[in-house]
Amino acid sequence: MYDVIILGAGPAGLTAALYAARGKLKSLVITGPMVGGQIALTYQIDNYPGFPEGLTGPELSDRFKAHAEKFGAEFIEAEATSVDLASNPYKAWVGDRVFDTSSLIVATGMTHRGLGVQGEDRLMGRGVFVCATCDALLYEDRKVVVVGGGDSALQEALDLAKFASEVTIVHRREELRACRCLTDRALIEPRIKFLYSTVVEEILGEKRVQGVRLRDLKTGELKVVDTDGVLLAIGWNPNTGLLRGEIEMNDSGYPKTEGVKTSKPGVFVAGDLIDRNYRQVVTSCGSGCAAAIEAIRWLEAQPSH
Ligand SMILES: Cc1cc2nc3c(=O)[nH]c(=O)nc-3n(C[C@H](O)[C@H](O)[C@H](O)COP(=O)(O)OP(=O)(O)OC[C@H]3O[C@@H](n4cnc5c(N)ncnc54)[C@H](O)[C@@H]3O)c2cc1C
């Protein structure tokens, strides 16, 4: 029986584990497929405070985990397959193993939507990327294709245009879907070009991205455009499948929350999962900390605790 089970071992889950364990909660982290979460895939982190020289994503992830372990957090390197939050103690399953817990913190992050075209998976991290705030500096004076036409695509393109020599927004519709304020800014930015009614059919390159094969949806014409990077900005899906029917969620699968609290007492969420705006390591750590503090306070208020 645990005081708290934390689902996910990205920055949010590992910070929650540190705070929970240091707060003397018997804590178990079910890590899911990626210890470290998205930072495990990130070569260099230059914007985490306290490390002016920067460090690799895996190194930061190892430090987060070691810090939580130092205070006694336990880890299972496996995916949680289901949860039962009908009554307390809550239950979390890993295959046929079941773990009981008084409280739960869900920090399972997001999965970016993919195009499903050739070259995308092979060149991920080698020119294919999903976060301008994180990687824009790598594209200084280089060309980038941004795929998408909503708010995040335009915001990412504007962020990239401060560094890249040319940003081409490729959008499958005839018009952008982004808000007027972003569209107006992008339209007058000389480094941003637009290709409407166009889709990416293939991402080209051997070791790194060198170009994209595009299809004009109106004429059917195919053409190859040289580029150094392809930023996928067609949206993210929350990793909340196992919470379906257990807590209140909106139609897009995001938990309905008040801060880090969900509709279920003693069940909290943290990290990118509840952050539509910033999605950074430091903000994920912040909400991981908040979720653990809320779990500690909630447990203290329970008569049985
Ligand atoms: C390529 C890239 C580069 C980035 N670079 C930077 C950067 O330089 N600086 C910066 O501040 N931010 C950067 N970010 C953003 C940052 O990585 C995220 O904001 C942060 O990792 C989110 O943390 P999280 O803990 O909420 O989720 P994630 O990091 O996504 O972690 C989710 C965790 O949930 C686990 N999980 C999923 N399903 C289950 C399940 N069923 N059961 C149990 N566990 C599960 C996963 O294994 C993982 O451990 C980058 C993102 C990407 C994609």
Residue bearing the CA closest to ligand 1, atom 7: 134
**Ligand 1: nearest atom to the Cα of 47:** 9
- Pick the residue with more confidence: 134 or 223? 223
What pLDDT, on the 0 to 100 scale, is given for residue 119?
97
What pLDDT, on the 0 to 100 scale, is given for residue 290?
98
Residue bearing the CA closest to ligand 1, atom 51: 38
Residue bearing the CA closest to ligand 1, atom 44: 32
What pLDDT, on the 0 to 100 scale, is given for residue 277?
84
User: For residue 277, how far is the Cα from the chain centroid?
Assistant: 11
**How far is ligand 1, taken at its centre, from the CA of residue 222, in Å?**
35
What is the average pLDDT across 230-256? 94
pLDDT at 292 over 80: yes
Confidence category of residue 48, pLDDT binned at 50, 70, 90: very high
What pLDDT, on the 0 to 100 scale, is given for residue 40?
86
pLDDT at 271 over 80: yes
The pTM of the full predicted model, rounded to 2 decimals, is 0.86
Length of the chain: 305
Out of 35, 38, 274, give the residue to mutate to test ligand 1, the one with the largest number of ligand atoms within 8 Å of its CB.
Answer: 38
Contacts of 125 (CB under 8 A, 6+ apart): 41, 43
Contacts of 140 (CB under 8 A, 6+ apart): 163, 164
Out of 18, 42, 75, give the residue to mutate to test ligand 1, the one with the largest number of ligand atoms within 8 Å of its CB.
Answer: 42
pLDDT at 305 over 80: no
pLDDT digits (tens, 9 = 90+) for 57-75: 999 999 999 999 999 999 9
What pLDDT, on the 0 to 100 scale, is given for residue 134?
81
- Please give the DSSP secondary-structure letter assigned to residue 130: S
Percent of the chain with pLDDT over 70: 100
Region for 113 from its dihedrals, namely left if φ exceeds 0, alpha if ψ lies in -120 to 50, beta otherwise: beta
What pLDDT, on the 0 to 100 scale, is given for residue 100?
98
Confidence category of residue 264, pLDDT binned at 50, 70, 90: very high
Contact 215, 53 (CB under 8 A): no
What is the average pLDDT across 142-166? 95
Contact 147, 233 (CB under 8 A): yes
Residues near ligand 1 with C-beta < 6 Å? 7-13, 30-34, 37-39, 41-42, 45, 47, 79-80, 107-109, 129-131, 134, 239, 242, 271-273, 279-282, 284
pLDDT digits (tens, 9 = 90+) for 189-215: 999 999 999 999 999 999 999 999 999
Confidence category of residue 133, pLDDT binned at 50, 70, 90: confident
What is the average pLDDT across 249-265? 95
What pLDDT, on the 0 to 100 scale, is given for residue 283?
97
**How far is ligand 1, taken at its centre, from the CA of residue 245, in Å?**
24
Domains of the chain: 2-111+236-300 (3.50.50.60), 114-232 (3.50.50.60)
pLDDT at 304 over 80: no
**How far is ligand 1, taken at its centre, from the CA of residue 192, in Å?**
29
What pLDDT, on the 0 to 100 scale, is given for residue 276?
81
- Pick the residue with more confidence: 40 or 35? 35
The residues assigned a catalytic role are 131, 134-135
**How far is ligand 1, taken at its centre, from the CA of residue 12, in Å?**
8
What is the average pLDDT across 147-152? 92
**How far is ligand 1, taken at its centre, from the CA of residue 146, in Å?**
21
The three-class DSSP label of residue 271 is helix
**Ligand 1: nearest atom to the Cα of 42:** 3
pLDDT at 106 over 90: yes
pLDDT at 126 over 90: yes
Residue bearing the CA closest to ligand 1, atom 2: 42
pLDDT digits (tens, 9 = 90+) for 20-32: 999 999 999 999 9
What pLDDT, on the 0 to 100 scale, is given for residue 286?
98
Helix axes 11-22, 281-300, angle to 10 degrees: 40
What is the average pLDDT across 99-118? 96
**Ligand 1: nearest atom to the Cα of 34:** 47
pLDDT at 41 over 80: no
